[in-house]
Amino acid sequence: MRVALPAQLASLSIEDAHGRVWRQALGGLADRVTLDPVKERPLSSAGAEPDVWLTDGHAGGLNVDEPLVAVVHEVGWTTSPLRRFLDPGFARSVAAGTAAGVHASAQVLTPSEWSRRQVIDAFGVDGERVHAVPYGV
């Protein structure tokens, strides 16, 4: 299986948590599929067409023809306790990007059942499209 992804996901720094999570996930996937980091926009694969695209679900959707799988770590900013600690502009921006990513995706992966429920509740998507896959699996 050929999995395309935006090149910036493959080059995130391991110095921050987001980068470490992506590096671990991609490292595990590389043993099972062919990863194809793509740099140019509009996104297109230079070699063989990918079977699926993998993306950061917080960054919005991708303009691709193949099925899109988005990874959404959490949507805690939708809860009142966390929302009060966030800059309103940041909360609006991340919410809009995540909503676009979730709705553009054929499937959504989350790290826990709690995050899965948050995504379903916050964005009103069919639970059959959202899957809890713990980090490290």
pLDDT tens-place string over residues 15-55:
988 888 888 888 888 889 999 998 765 555 556 789 999 99
Do you know the residue count of the chain?
Answer: 137
The C-alpha angle with vertex 76 and arms to 60 and 15, in degrees rounded to 5, equals 70
Q: Which of 40, 53, 51, 137 is nearest to 101 (CA)?
A: 53
Let me know if residue 137 belongs to a domain.
no
Let me know if residue 12 belongs to a domain.
yes
Does this model's pTM top 0.85? yes
Domain housing 119: 2-132
Helix (H, G, I), strand (E, B) or coil at 109: strand
C-alpha count within 13 angstroms, C-beta hemisphere, residue 94: 15
Domain count, the chain: 1
Let me know if residue 22 belongs to a domain.
yes
Let me know if residue 11 belongs to a domain.
yes
pLDDT (tens digit per residue) in 112-129 = 999 999 999 999 999 999
Report the DSSP pairing between strands 34-38 and 107-110.
unpaired
pLDDT (tens digit per residue) in 59-98 = 999 988 899 999 999 888 887 788 788 888 888 898 999 9
Let me know if residue 109 belongs to a domain.
yes
Q: How far is CA 34 from CA 54, 70, 102, 109, 127, in A?
A: 12, 17, 24, 19, 28
